[in-house]
Chain A
Amino acid sequence: MNEYLKQVNSLPFYLIVGGVLLFILIMCVWFLVKSYRAGIAIGMDKKVMRRAIMSSATFSILPGVSILLGVIALSGSLGVPLSWLRLSVVGALQYELNVAEIAATSMGLSGLKVSEMSIAAFTTIALVMTAGILSGITCCIFGLKKYLTRFQKKEKKAEGNRPGFGAYATIAMFIGLCSAYIGSYVGTWTAFKNHLPLMVAGVSALTMAVFEYLIVKKKMEWLENFSVAVSMIVGMTAAVLISL
């Protein structure tokens, strides 16, 4: 086995990640119990609270499986423990991969490729991935209390207004990201005659188009949970078949 992969899939790393996730799991249970007890204290119907818990739990199983597919997709280049950690907390598949790729190229690698990775590059990439996504957490630590108090006061005044630009800003940002990457795949094909990235992106996009058709036209909204992960796996399978 590749030395790098052996190191990033080692038992101590599993134990470190397991410890961090156990802490976060305990905190979730703590919040759950505290809120449930508070509900009982103010006379909320236990049945209603249990229904909310059960529906949220069942609602989360399918997305959980789709996140697991993301762990599989990431594990080939970053190992299982880091992929497990990153996709269990804070992040999401699209963030993790993109940031890992940016970090890898910033270090002078040609991309997130196992053949070029070393344990030193890995620890730096892992740190960039962690630090880069802490803005939401930082906002919560320093600003949530003030922001929500102010927001609740302003809420009544804002009724009837159209959606703010915030909702579109994230979409625009992602459109920019995707444009840069797709443009680079076209360039890789025309300049270096390497059509693999563009072909994979194309197959992945086609699969996504099928999902979008089923979700939007056939009202199969439950597929939404799987669309990105399955499209990626189909694209990656195409890469293997093209390279045979």
Chain B
Amino acid sequence: MEKEKFLEEFNRQQHRLGRIMLIAAAVLLLAVPFLLGGIYGALPDLKSFLNGFIKVGMVYIPVGIVEFLVYAPMLGNGGSYLTFLTGNVTNLKIPCAMNARDIARTEVGTVENEIISTLSVASSSIVTMLVIFAGVLLLVPLTPVLENPVLTPAFDTVVPALFGALGLKYFRKSMKITAIPLISMTLLCVLVPGAISQTSILLIPAGGMALVIGYVLWKKNKL
């Protein structure tokens, strides 16, 4: 009973601190483009921002909500606040927290589990930030090399490189979901070349199609 009371108080504190931290961090993150724009007299263009944000939001707001609904129960209170702030949810924080729980042999819903999850995500975030910081220090002297014109094709094709790798990874997960969106998008771009420059718009029907097919297959228990 005492432990339950402690958990209640501990959770209350974590929610308060977590909310304050996230609000402050969101304000700071949003301020960065304005601060840089202020220095160079080039503030973000509101019209272009809204145009881009609508397209991005259509895809990534649902993804963000789904990630929140799926992963928050695995991470607990403190773990969720830190994870959704520091990112790399599926590739790092979830496996890390699960691993720590296995080591500590804690059970979901207990105060011990809450504490271990928070310790795990916090230490993972600190280490990741420090590794990246050390790397950035090394990267600064390399900047002139990275800006060499010979390397321009590499950085101009960074998006195809990403989607080649991700495509294989995700297509393999479910060929049943993949077939129709992939074939239809390819045919559309081959037959209507004007669509190629509108990839940001193509994402919406392609994502919608994949979601509907995925949902139908899931309903029929065929995934």
Contact = CB atoms under 8 A, between A and B. Distances in A.
Given A60-B96, A71-B135, A186-B186, A97 B64 contact: no
Q: Which of B78, B92, B95 has the most CB of A within 10 A?
A: B92
A126 B164 contact: no
Interface in B150-180: 150-174, 177-178
B165 A227 contact: yes
A85 B32 contact: yes
Contacts of B200: 101-102, 105-106
A197 B166 CA distance: 14
A87 B132 contact: yes
Given A25-B129, A205-B164, A32 B122 contact: yes
A200 B164 CA distance: 7
B64 to A, nearest CB: 3
B193 A191 contact: yes
Interface in A110-147: 110-115, 118-128, 130-141, 143-145, 147
A87 B162 CA distance: 15
B43 A123 contact: yes
Contacts of A135: 60-61, 63-65, 68
Interface residues of A, number: 170
Contacts of A235: 157, 160-161, 164-165
Given A176-B209, A191-B193, A208-B168, A56 B120 contact: yes
A183 B15 CA distance: 44
Contacts of A121: 48
A46 B150 CA distance: 54
Interface in B205-223: 206-211, 213-215, 218, 221, 223
A2 B167 contact: no
Interface string A153-182: 001000000101111111111111111111
B60 A99 contact: yes
Contacts of A144: 15, 18, 68, 72, 77, 80-81
9 contacts: A27-B85, A28-B129, A38-B6, A52-B116, A77-B158, A106-B51, A141-B19, A184-B196, A207-B165
Q: What 10 A-B pairs are tightest by C-beta distance, nearest first? A: A187-B189, A135-B64, A76-B155, A183-B185, A64-B131, A204-B164, A201-B164, A176-B207, A235-B161, A172-B214
